[in-house]
């Protein structure tokens, strides 16, 4: 099958944010023998499957999708990929119309043939779009996500103490400021404003990645940063919050304890050992190929196979 991931509807800022969440999906599909168009800017006819990562800020674009689906029916296979919690979360790209995105997603769900989500939202999405339509994509090991450069295993060469994954927000800045006050070097900025190669370089050179919600009201901890670090052999300290399927591969605590746990992990000196151990266990226990194989048993996708 051909899976075409349409990204032309995303804002230019969003494109720097979504790659870490999309690449494991691409690699899992390829491992199953499927062809992947990773940056489609036009819609492809059947038998290609058009997949739209959620970013439906433009009413006109959504209207055109709905019209195309009504006119073409089965000749326009339509899939959605939801990686953000629009009902209880902070958008990964801060300058977007959160409410409009949510409203347009709800308009599209009933028309979609299938929906994949990287968060524990299957029941909610099927409640809005129809039973038997959604599948959870639990991130797993994907050989194609391993960086070409070998991991840095000499602790002294990891010159960045903390790579704070995601964009800066008041909630995250409180912890970042506490870490800097303790003398730690912290990399945290507007994620949408720096390119992926820069983020990859910082991740590889960091003693640890800190994964934290953007706001205390967010229901789930986004998994993409943890999965990235596991492929880069970088230890992870994570805020314990909802949707934490990956806590077993991290050092986890609640928000109040993060600054101390990060400080102890950095100064304890075992961060390379922790990263190597976590990656070995993640690689042995998970598979993005198997995750996608399970997702492809949805009725609409079985009919297209």
Domain of 277, CATH number, reads 3.40.50.2000
CA distances in angstroms from 190 to 130, 137, 161, 205, 243, listed in the order given = 36, 26, 18, 19, 24
Residue 246's contacts (CB-CB under 8 Å, 6 or more residues apart) are 139, 223, 226, 227, 230, 236, 238
Kindly indicate the confidence band of residue 4, based on its pLDDT and cuts at 50, 70 and 90: very high
Query: pLDDT tens digit string along 52-69?
Result: 999 999 999 999 999 999
Residue 90 has pLDDT above 80, yes or no: no
Q: What is the DSSP string of 251-277?
A: EEE-GGGHHHHHHHHHHHS-HHHHHHH
Taking residues 145-171, what's their average pLDDT?
94
Domain harbouring 10, CATH code: 3.40.50
Could you tell me if 93 and 170 lie in one domain?
Answer: no
CA distances in angstroms from 201 to 128, 143, 263, listed in the order given = 40, 18, 22
Could you tell me if 157 and 114 lie in one domain?
Answer: no
Could you tell me if 14 and 86 lie in one domain?
Answer: yes
Give the closest residue to 22 by CA, choosing from 2, 41, 8, 36.
36
Say what the pLDDT of residue 227 is: 96
Could you tell me if 105 and 172 lie in one domain?
Answer: no
Residue 245 has pLDDT above 80, yes or no: no
Could you tell me if 213 and 234 lie in one domain?
Answer: yes
Strand-pair partners of 80? 52, 115
DSSP conformational letter for 151 = P
Could you tell me if 156 and 264 lie in one domain?
Answer: yes
Say what the pLDDT of residue 10 is: 85
Q: Give the chain's domain count.
A: 2
Taking residues 41-50, what's their average pLDDT?
91
Backbone angles phi, psi at 214, to 5 degrees: -75, -25
In this structure, what token pair is assigned to residue 83? 């990686």
Which residue is listed with tokens 């899976």? 3
Backbone angles phi, psi at 79, to 5 degrees: -120, 150
Taking residues 252-266, what's their average pLDDT?
97
d(CA 12, CA 10): 6
Could you tell me if 294 and 217 lie in one domain?
Answer: no
Query: Average pLDDT over the chain, rounded to whole?
Result: 92
Could you tell me if 137 and 157 lie in one domain?
Answer: no
Say what the pLDDT of residue 223 is: 92
d(CA 214, CA 221): 8
H or E element: which one contains 114?
strand 114-117
Taking residues 1-8, what's their average pLDDT?
95
Could you tell me if 133 and 12 lie in one domain?
Answer: yes
Give the distance, in angstroms, between the CA of residue 164 and the centroid of all CA atoms in the same chain: 15
Could you tell me if 84 and 127 lie in one domain?
Answer: yes
d(CA 286, CA 81): 21
DSSP conformational letter for 46 = T
Could you tell me if 133 and 160 lie in one domain?
Answer: no
Could you tell me if 172 and 212 are in contact, meaning their C-beta atoms sit under 8 angstroms apart? yes
Residue 149's contacts (CB-CB under 8 Å, 6 or more residues apart) are 204
d(CA 234, CA 199): 13
Q: Which domain holds residue 253?
A: 145-285
Strands 186-189 and 78-82, bridge-based pairing: unpaired
Number of residues in the chain: 305
Residue with the bigger pLDDT between 22 and 92: it is: 22
Could you tell me if 283 and 143 are in contact, meaning their C-beta atoms sit under 8 angstroms apart? no
d(CA 185, CA 171): 18
Could you tell me if 152 and 276 lie in one domain?
Answer: yes
Could you tell me if 291 and 138 are in contact, meaning their C-beta atoms sit under 8 angstroms apart? yes
Residue 93 has pLDDT above 70, yes or no: no
Lowest mean pLDDT of 19-28, 109-118, 182-191, 227-236, name the range. Answer: 182-191
């Amino acid at each position: 099958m051909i899976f075409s991931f349409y990204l032309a509807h995303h804002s230019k800022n969003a494109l720097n944010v979504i790659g870490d969440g999309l690449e494991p999906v691409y690699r899992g599909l390829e491992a199953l023998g499927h062809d992947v168009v990773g940056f489609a800017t036009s819609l492809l006819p059947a038998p290609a499957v058009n997949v739209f990562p959620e970013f439906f800020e433009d009413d006109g674009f959504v209207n055109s999708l709905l019209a195309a689906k009504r006119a073409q029916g089965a000749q326009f296979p339509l899939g959605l990929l939801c990686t953000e919690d629009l009902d209880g979360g902070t958008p990964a790209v801060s300058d977007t119309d959160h409410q409009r995105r949510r409203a347009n997603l709800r308009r599209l769900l009933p028309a979609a043939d299938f929906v994949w989500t990287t968060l524990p939202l299957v029941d909610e999405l099927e409640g809005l779009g129809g039973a038997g339509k959604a599948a959870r994509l639990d991130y797993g090991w994907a050989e194609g996500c391993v960086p070409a450069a070998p991991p840095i295993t000499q602790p002294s060469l990891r010159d960045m103490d903390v790579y704070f994954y995601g964009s800066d927000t008041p909630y995250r800045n409180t912890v970042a400021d506490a870490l800097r006050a303790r003398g730690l070097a912290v990399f945290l900025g507007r994620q949408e404003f720096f390119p992926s190669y820069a983020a990859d370089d910082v991740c590889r050179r960091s003693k640890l990645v800190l994964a934290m919600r953007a706001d205390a009201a967010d229901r789930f901890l986004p998994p993409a940063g943890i999965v990235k670090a596991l492929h880069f052999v970088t230890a992870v300290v994570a805020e314990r919050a909802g949707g934490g399927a990956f806590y077993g591969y991290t050092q986890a605590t609640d928000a109040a304890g993060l600054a101390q746990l990060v400080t102890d992990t950095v100064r304890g000196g075992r961060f390379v050992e922790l990263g190597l151990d976590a990656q070995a266990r993640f690689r042995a226990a998970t598979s993005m190929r198997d995750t996608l194989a399970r997702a492809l048993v949805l009725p609409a996708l079985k009919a297209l196979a």
